[in-house]
Amino acid sequence: MTAALVLVSAIPLMWVLYLAYTALRATWPTLRPEVKAAGAAVVAAGWLLDVALNWTAGLALGITPDATLSQKCGRLKRAEGWRAGVARYLCANWLDPFEFGGHCR
pLDDT tens for residues 63-95? Answer: 888 998 889 999 999 999 999 999 999 999 999
Task: Report the pLDDT averaged over residues 27-49.
Answer: 96
Is the pLDDT reported for residue 22 higher than 90? yes
Q: Please tell me the predicted confidence (pLDDT) of residue 1.
A: 61
Residue 38 CA, chain-centre distance (Å), reads 19
Instruction: Give the list of residues 6+ apart from residue 87 with CB closer than 8 angstroms, or none.
Output: 61, 72, 73, 74, 75, 76, 77, 79, 104
Is the pTM for the entire model greater than 0.85? Answer: no
pLDDT exceeding 90 applies to what percent of the chain?
Answer: 62
Q: Please tell me the predicted confidence (pLDDT) of residue 15.
A: 92
Confidence band of 31 (pLDDT split at 50, 70, 90)? very high
Task: Report the pLDDT averaged over residues 47-76.
Answer: 88
Q: Please tell me the predicted confidence (pLDDT) of residue 20.
A: 96
What whole-number distance in Å separates Cα of residue 58 and Cα of residue 60?
A: 5
